[in-house]
C-alpha cells in the first residue's frame, strides 16, 4: 500500500478526521469508479445513481474495512456489486426476460444521449454487450481499466486462471462479432 493510502486509512480510523479522509477518497476514486460502473450499467444517469450508492455503502461500512486489500480494490468491489445489484433490480422492475439481457443493455447504449463514441466505438460496445455478464466484466476491467489479474481476483473473488480464461473467450467472441458485423 502506498504511504498516502496508509495516511488515509489512519484518517478514516480517527473520528475527528474521518469525513475529510473520506472526501479525499471520493475525489481520488470518483472518476475511475464512474467509468467502471458506466461500462456495466451503460446509462449515464444510472451510473451516477450507482456511484452515489457505492460511496454511501462504503461510508456506512468503513469501520469494516480490514486493510487486507487496497482501498481502491475495496471500492471497486463495492462498485461492481452495486452495479450488478442495480442492473438485476432494474431488469426485474422492467420485467426484462433473462434471454433479452444483452438487448436491454444495447437499447440503453443506443438511447444514451451521453454516448460520444464514433461508429467503431459503438460497434465495439455492441460486441462487448453481447458477452455473458462475467466475460463482459472481466474484459472491461482488463482492457479498459488495465487492472492486473491479481487485482481483479481480489475484486471478483475468482481465481486468476478463471479470469484469464474469461478474458481469452471474451476477446475471441469480440473478434468474431467484429469480423462478421462490418
Structure confidence by residue, pLDDT tens digits, 127-176: 888 898 899 999 999 988 899 999 999 999 999 999 999 999 999 999 99
Same domain, 101 and 31: yes
Provide the number of structural domains found in the chain: 2
Domain stop point among 81, 113, 145: 113
> Which range marks the domain in which residue 4 is found?
1-113
Maximum alpha-carbon separation in the chain: 59
Same domain, 56 and 102: yes
Q: Which residue shows C-alpha cell 475471441? A: 172
pLDDT digits (tens, 9 = 90+) for 100-123: 455 555 555 555 555 555 567 778
The share of the chain scoring above pLDDT 70, in percent, equals 83
Same domain, 105 and 134: no
Same domain, 18 and 89: yes
pTM higher than the cut 0.85 = no
Same domain, 45 and 130: no
The pLDDT value given to residue 91: 72
pLDDT digits (tens, 9 = 90+) for 70-83: 898 999 999 999 99
Same domain, 14 and 60: yes
The pLDDT value given to residue 121: 75
Same domain, 90 and 166: no
Give the model's confidence band at 1: pLDDT under 50 very low, under 70 low, under 90 confident, else very high. Answer: very low
Q: Is the dihedral of CA 164, 167, 169, 171 positive or negative?
A: negative
Mean model confidence pLDDT for the chain: 84
CATH number of the domain residue 177 falls in: 1.10.10.10
The pLDDT value given to residue 47: 94
Cβ contacts of 116 within 8 Å, gap of 6 or more: none
Domain stop point among 66, 96, 113: 113
The pLDDT value given to residue 151: 92
Q: Which residue shows C-alpha cell 433479452? A: 100
Amino acid at each position: 500500500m502506498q504511504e498516502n493510502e496508509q495516511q488515509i486509512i489512519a484518517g478514516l480510523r480517527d473520528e475527528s478526521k474521518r469525513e475529510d479522509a473520506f472526501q479525499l477518497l471520493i475525489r481520488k476514486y470518483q472518476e475511475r469508479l464512474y467509468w467502471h460502473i458506466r461500462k456495466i450499467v451503460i446509462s449515464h444517469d444510472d451510473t451516477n445513481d450507482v456511484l452515489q450508492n457505492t460511496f454511501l455503502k462504503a461510508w456506512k461500512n468503513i469501520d469494516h474495512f480490514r486493510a487486507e486489500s487496497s482501498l481502491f480494490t475495496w471500492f471497486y468491489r463495492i462498485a461492481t456489486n452495486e452495479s450488478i445489484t442495480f442492473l438485476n433490480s432494474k431488469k426485474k422492475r422492467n420485467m426484462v426476460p433473462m434471454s433479452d439481457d444483452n438487448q436491454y443493455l444495447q437499447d440503453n447504449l443506443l438511447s444514451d444521449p451521453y454516448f460520444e463514441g464514433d461508429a467503431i466505438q459503438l460497434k465495439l460496445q455492441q460486441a462487448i454487450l453481447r458477452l455473458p455478464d462475467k466475460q463482459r466484466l472481466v474484459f472491461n476491467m482488463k482492457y479498459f481499466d488495465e487492472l492486473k489479474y491479481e487485482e481483479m481476483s481480489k475484486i471478483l473473488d475468482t481465481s486468476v486462471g478463471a479470469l484469464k480464461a474469461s478474458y481469452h473467450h471474451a476477446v475471441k467472441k469480440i473478434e468474431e462479432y467484429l469480423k462478421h458485423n462490418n
